[in-house]
């Protein structure tokens, strides 16, 4: 049986014929290469975090404090990274995180990442702020494990419409992101005065929505002025600072799909999510883009797992960059992780092919890291796999 780690052997084989990988093999290398080719605004939008970016840095430091203690001679010939999440089989416990405004980065945009994940058998989470409509993305990968991420707008009928469209289009879960009813203070974007949505980038799901359109006095396609007014209306309804836990209960009336709440850091919020009908939570600080000074997502994970891990699925994102990071998150109780910025850089460098390169890379790294640490299956890792090292 083939393993994801076999990709290393294939690269070395091609090296004998003088061929080298066209794209960088590390997350850092991908970021550096993307910085060199992307427009300054697009790179800043992807790479940037909130304010001093110390939470972005803390997300990485948190992984560095945990060390894996490898175990030897445990018979790991037959290995399997596959898993089941919310009742659906997946090739590995890695999903692509929802990322908005991808059209800035590459024309393949949301279609590129969804097809790349589908090709490998991974689930992908489509952002509300996608550059293509959720129906177009569904048509591009009809049988894939697609989840839909919801930013809950101020207009409840629009929220309902988006959720119903996602269910109709075959998305398999709704991920409600609760940490971004407004964008955080992001100096890199502020310096370039760049907010893609105001240029009409990343609002395809709104412009195509019957409820959203019913609020406009003219179809956005009709004229530059009509589009301008549509964008203004988007800005007025996007965020919902008034949303509170009881509001979530209505989701159950709108959809039969499993519901995940993304952006959870505190165990009491995880309990509240479950008490209000969630089937799981994503521990995340949005990659350090919202509350600067916030605790690293990985450091929030164990308390959330203790609070709700026996009842619902607990996923993690914010700072996943390599196979060891995935192992550490799983060992601390996550059932799966979401990969963010690295695949966006791959998309920027080479479209769908670039995303596939990044996903196959992290899967190869995870397969080899798990096996060399003595685990044939990721379900075997746990607190016993790690020690906490004092760093610095
Ligand atoms: C995001 N993230 C995000 N989350 C979400 O729920 N909806 C969205 O539209 C976006 N958009 C978005 C754009 C960009 C450029 C980034 C970098 C992130 C957050 C994302 O899903 C995930 O939580 C973070 O990317 C995780 O952090 P790292 O690992 O990428 O640093």
For residue 177, which atom of ligand 1 is closest to its CA? 6
| Contact assessment for residue 90 and residue 375, using Cβ atoms and an 8 Å cutoff | no
Neighbours of 254 (CB within 10 A): 18
Could you tell me the distance, in angstroms and rounded to a whole number, from the CA of residue 99 to the centre of ligand 1? Answer: 5
Could you tell me the distance, in angstroms and rounded to a whole number, from the CA of residue 317 to the centre of ligand 1? Answer: 9
Helix, strand, coil % in the chain, rounded to nearest 5: 50, 10, 40
Tell me the C-alpha distance between 91 and 316, whole Å.
Answer: 17
Ligand 1 pocket member 255 (CB < 6 A): no
Residues sharing a CB contact under 8 Å with residue 55, sequence separation 6 or more, in sequence order: 49, 285, 288, 291, 292, 293, 294, 295, 296
> Which pTM value belongs to this model?
0.98
Cβ burial 92-111 (10 Å sphere, 16+ → b, else e) = bbbbbbbbbbbbbbbebbbb
Residue 97's closest CA among 284, 240, 259? 284
218 in the Ramachandran plot: left (φ > 0), alpha (ψ -120 to 50) or beta?
Answer: beta
Look at residue 1 in the predicted model and tell me its pLDDT.
67
Burial level of 18, CB count in 10 A (0-12/13-18/19+)? Answer: exposed
Ligand 1 pocket member 205 (CB < 6 A): no
Tell me the C-alpha distance between 339 and 192, whole Å.
Answer: 26
Q: What is the pLDDT of residues 99-134, one digit of tens each?
A: 999 999 999 999 999 999 999 999 999 999 999 999
Tell me the C-alpha distance between 68 and 88, whole Å.
Answer: 29
- Confirm whether 228 is a catalytic residue: no
Residues sharing a CB contact under 8 Å with residue 307, sequence separation 6 or more, in sequence order: 267, 268, 270, 271
The DSSP output letter for 154 is S
Q: What is the pLDDT of residues 302-323, one digit of tens each?
A: 999 999 999 999 999 999 999 9
Pairing relation of β-strands 259-264 and 174-177? parallel
Q: What is the mean pLDDT of each run of 10 residues along the chain (392 residues)?
A: 94 98 98 98 98 98 98 97 97 98 98 98 98 98 97 98 98 98 98 98 98 98 98 98 95 97 98 98 98 98 98 98 98 98 99 98 98 97 95 64
């Amino acid at each position: 049986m083939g393993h994801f780690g076999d990709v290393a052997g294939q690269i070395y084989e091609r090296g004998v014929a003088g061929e080298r990988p066209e794209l960088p093999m590390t997350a850092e290398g991908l970021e550096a290469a993307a910085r060199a080719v992307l427009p300054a605004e697009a790179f800043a939008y992807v790479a940037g975090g909130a304010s001093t970016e110390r939470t972005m840095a803390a997300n990485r430091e948190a992984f560095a404090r945990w060390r894996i203690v490898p175990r030897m001679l445990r018979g790991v010939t037959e290995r399997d990274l596959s898993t089941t999440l919310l009742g659906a089989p997946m090739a590995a416990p890695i999903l692509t995180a929802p990322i908005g405004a991808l059209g800035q980065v590459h024309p393949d945009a949301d279609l590129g990442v969804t097809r790349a994940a589908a090709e490998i058998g991974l689930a992908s989470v489509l952002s509300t702020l996608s550059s293509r409509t959720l129906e177009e993305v569904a048509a591009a990968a009809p049988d894939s494990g697609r989840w839909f991420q919801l930013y809950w707008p101020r207009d409840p009928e629009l929220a309902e419409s988006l959720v119903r469209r996602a269910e109709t289009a075959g998305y398999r879960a709704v991920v409600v992101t609760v940490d971004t009813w407004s964008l955080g203070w992001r100096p890199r974007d502020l310096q370039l005065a760049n907010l893609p949505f105001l240029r009409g980038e990343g609002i395809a799901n709104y412009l195509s929505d019957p409820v959203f359109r019913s609020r406009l006095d003219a179809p956005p396609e009709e004229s530059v002025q009509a589009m301008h007014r549509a964008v203004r209306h988007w800005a007025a309804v996007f965020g919902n600072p008034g949303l509170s836990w009881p509001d979530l209960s209505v989701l159950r009336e709108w959809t039969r799909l499993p519901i995940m709440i993304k952006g959870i850091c505190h165990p009491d919020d995880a309990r509240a999510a479950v008490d209000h009908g969630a089937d799981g939570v994503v521990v995340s600080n949005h990659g350090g883009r919202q509350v600067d000074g916030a605790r690293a997502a990985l450091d929030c994970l164990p308390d959330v797992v203790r609070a709700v891990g026996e009842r619902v699925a607990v996923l993690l994102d914010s700072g996943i960059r390599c196979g060891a990071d995935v192992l550490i998150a799983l060992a601390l109780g996550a059932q799966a992780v979401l990969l963010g910025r690295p695949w966006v850089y791959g998309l920027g460098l080479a479209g769908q092919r670039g995303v596939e390169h990044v996903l196959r890379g992290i899967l190869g790294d995870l397969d080899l890291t798990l096996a060399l640490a003595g685990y044939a299956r990721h379900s075997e890792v746990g607190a016993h796999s790690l020690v906490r090292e004092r760093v610095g």
